[in-house]
Amino acid sequence: MNSKTGGLTPAVRTRSELLQQVTAWKQAGERVGFVPTMGALHGGHLSLIEKAKEKATRIVASIFVNPTQFAPGEDFDTYPRDEEADLAKLASVGCDLAYLPTVGEMYPEGSVTNVRVEEMSDLLDGIYRPHFFYGVTTVVARLFLHVQPDVAVFGEKDYQQLQIIRRMVRDLGFPIEIIGASTARDADGLAQSSRNLYLKPEERRNAGAMQQLFTGPRSGSSPANRPPPPWRKPARFWPGQGSGRSTMSPWSIRTRFRTCQTHPCPPAQSPGCSAPPGWGARA
């Protein structure tokens, strides 16, 4: 285990080293909190550490860019990585241990077992990235087995992910308390994200403007009655309709999805729901 020198949080890279430390803490009566990350840490991640400290006496953060949640052509190879900077940031908020496993440690050769939360993983983000939650639940389940925390903290920024993790923990009986932490935002309201580093200055300004459009002063009309943002065309059809791929914008998903609180709709269709019959049902 790396020692806490030069202002860096100690780090371990194997499950056996991690288990040795966590076991010692638990034998001493400590409560272990866990925050899983993919690195490129920012204020949002650090706020999760602070939240975990409210619920536990020892904090472990993992840094692992998980290959199973990236599809071919996505940014796995270019995802921001800066291990030393991340360890320094973890030390600044009092994180006790960083777990930095290799791909081989997380997915031993010959591994064929995966975890999938049915139905919930097929809505919203799952429509456009059907591989994503499959990879997330698989790696989080494995991390839970490695870290064996008493409590784990996830950001509400990824709200669908948070709910899927909660359902997985309930269904599989993990003895772990799942805590949702509020979204950390920049001054203009944009949610902090590692991928914000990809944005050019103009793109970053537009992203902040989009957040203001969603949450700015109301003009008296409901969100569902306002026009879509000028940089996006209105949706022409719902996912599953027609012969092409959905052109539904995030604006349309946000406003139309909340017209029905019970998606996926039952065959009788929920009263007042604007979605076509069967929307959300698995093929």
Are 164 and 136 in contact by the 8 Å Cβ rule? The answer is yes
> What is the residue-level pLDDT of the chain in tens, covering all 283 positions?
544 445 999 999 999 999 999 999 999 999 999 999 999 898 999 999 999 999 999 999 999 999 999 888 888 998 899 999 999 999 999 999 999 999 999 999 999 999 999 999 999 988 988 888 999 999 999 999 999 999 999 999 889 999 999 999 999 999 999 999 877 787 777 777 767 666 788 877 877 777 777 776 655 555 555 555 544 544 443 444 443 433 344 434 343 333 334 344 443 434 444 433 433 333 3
**Cβ-based neighbours of 225, under 8 Å, separated by 6 or more:** none
Give the residue numbers marked as catalytic. Answer: 45
Q: Which helix (H) or strand (E) holds 222?
A: none
Closest by CA to 115, choosing from 99, 91, 94, 137, is: 137
Report the predicted TM-score, pTM, of the whole model to 2 decimal places: 0.72
Contact indicator for 36, 143 with CB cutoff of 8 Å: yes
Q: Which 8-state DSSP code applies to residue 235? A: P
- Sheet with 177-181, strands from edge to edge, namely 11-12, 97-99, 58-63, 32-37, 151-155, 177-181
Residue 69 tokens, joined: 């949640």
Q: Which domains does the chain have, with CATH numbers?
A: 11-181 (3.40.50.620), 219-283 (no CATH)
